[in-house]
Amino acid sequence: MDESRYHVRPFRDDDFETASRINTLLNPDFPVTADEIRHWDRLFREPNLVKLDFIVEERSSGAGVARASIYHVPEMFHPHRFWVEIEVDPGHQHRGIGRALSERLQELARARSVEILWASVRADDLRSVQFFERAGFVERRRRWMSRLSLDIPPPVTGEPRSKGFPPEVTFTTLAEEGADRREVRERVYRLDLAASEDEPRMDRQTEISFEQYAAIRFQGPGFLPEAVFLARAGDEYVAMSTLHPQPAEPTVLVVGFTGTLPRCRGRGLASELKRRAVEFARARGYRYLQTFNDSENPPIWAINQRLGFQIQRVWITGEKKFAPEPGSSPTP
């Protein structure tokens, strides 16, 4: 990187618009607003978490042209394992900026006795994939964004399974149950933790507090309690599927977490909740549903395929392992 033209500085509060602009330039089919980035940034700044962010600024114009982050993920916390992100404005790529940021992030990681770094790149961006591999990252899995056009009639998938549901199961929404009731939110929290325990991820799940969960699930931009679909058996929620708006694209709803308690799987509950989510979006005039899938979670992708979702973009997720420092003891 030409330091006479660019310099790296810490991220400031007025940089969220820059982060939104760069991210949207790189991912025009999945734009994010500054408010969304600010919301997630706040959640990743718990006292025990590391989150360091940088902006590359062009000296002549003062414009931010790249951003980089190294951080812990609350639901997958390990003190010596971090995610890293680097995004460079397309108009300033191939000038050594990404390499300089990568070296800085790895230096920061080593200072914290790093064991593993994780990162993702778009599979269709050959230069980024090559950069990823040269930096020492090895592919672990793939993740893709898919869309369902709500203008297209739903596919015929056979007879509805409503007669096959256990008689004690009823279908409801968070709005019907009482979105502001703490006991309702706590039951959703317990369901989410139990149903997501075997969800594919790069490392083991770590339990977050109810307060952290509430901030993530119930306080984000555009929270829609009427679009949190639940299956209930007595006083217990046993399955869920959620939708939330994509503020930068008013015609799109994003499918969030879909999960079922392990003992209740194989009964069509997740499929029924997703079917209700599609009906909800179609009835309210949205044009698309958008979701993400993991290559290690074929059951959920099978449901989405039956509903008609089509893959739009694929990301490669990989990791870089670091040798332990001399004299250090291995992490259990």
pLDDT per residue as tens, the chain (332 positions): 899 999 999 999 999 999 999 999 998 878 889 998 998 898 888 888 899 999 999 999 999 999 999 999 988 999 999 999 999 999 999 999 999 999 999 999 999 999 999 999 999 999 999 999 999 999 999 999 999 999 876 655 544 454 467 778 999 999 999 999 999 999 999 999 999 888 888 888 888 899 989 988 888 777 899 999 999 998 899 999 999 998 888 999 999 889 999 999 888 898 899 999 999 999 999 999 999 999 988 888 888 888 889 999 999 999 999 987 665 554 44
The label of the residue with tokens 């230069």 reads 127
**Total structural domains in the chain?**
2
The verdict on 110 and 206 lying in the same domain is no
What pLDDT, on the 0 to 100 scale, is given for residue 1? 87
> For residue 176, what are the CA distances in angstroms to 87, 94, 225, 228, 282?
41, 53, 8, 10, 20
The verdict on 185 and 43 lying in the same domain is no
Out of 89, 114, 139, pick the residue that ends a domain.
114
The verdict on 186 and 288 lying in the same domain is yes
What pLDDT, on the 0 to 100 scale, is given for residue 223? 87
Out of 93, 114, 135, pick the residue that ends a domain.
114
3-state secondary structure of 172: strand
What pLDDT, on the 0 to 100 scale, is given for residue 330? 45
Q: 228-233 and 169-173: which strand pairing?
A: antiparallel
The verdict on 95 and 226 lying in the same domain is no
Query: Any idea what the CATH number is for the domain that residue 93 is in?
Result: 3.40.630.30
The label of the residue with tokens 């000296």 reads 59
The verdict on 309 and 215 lying in the same domain is yes
In a domain, 323, yes or no: no
The token duo for 107 is 């230096």
Distance CA 3, CA 113 (A): 28
The verdict on 191 and 275 lying in the same domain is yes
Instruction: Kindly compute the dihedral angle of the four CA atoms of residues 186, 189, 190, 195, in this order, to the nearest 10 degrees.
Output: 160
In a domain, 173, yes or no: yes
The verdict on 244 and 179 lying in the same domain is yes
Q: Where are the beta strands (DSSP E) in the chain?
A: 6-10, 51-58, 64-71, 81-88, 116-122, 138-149, 169-173, 228-233, 236-246, 249-260, 288-294, 310-321
In a domain, 107, yes or no: yes
Question: What is the domain range of residue 306?
Answer: 147-314
The verdict on 85 and 153 lying in the same domain is no
What pLDDT, on the 0 to 100 scale, is given for residue 98? 94
In a domain, 209, yes or no: yes
pTM, entire model: 0.85
Helical packing angle, 97-111 and 126-134, nearest 10°: 40
The verdict on 194 and 241 lying in the same domain is yes
Closest CA to 64 of 95, 21, 98: 21
The verdict on 181 and 297 lying in the same domain is yes
In a domain, 176, yes or no: yes
The verdict on 200 and 249 lying in the same domain is yes
In a domain, 179, yes or no: yes
What pLDDT, on the 0 to 100 scale, is given for residue 125? 92
In a domain, 329, yes or no: no
Dihedrals phi, psi of 34, to nearest 5 degrees: -60, -35
Residue type, position 190, single letter: R
Kindly give the residue spans of alpha helices, DSSP state H, lying in the chain.
16-26, 34-43, 97-111, 126-134, 174-177, 182-195, 210-217, 269-283, 298-307
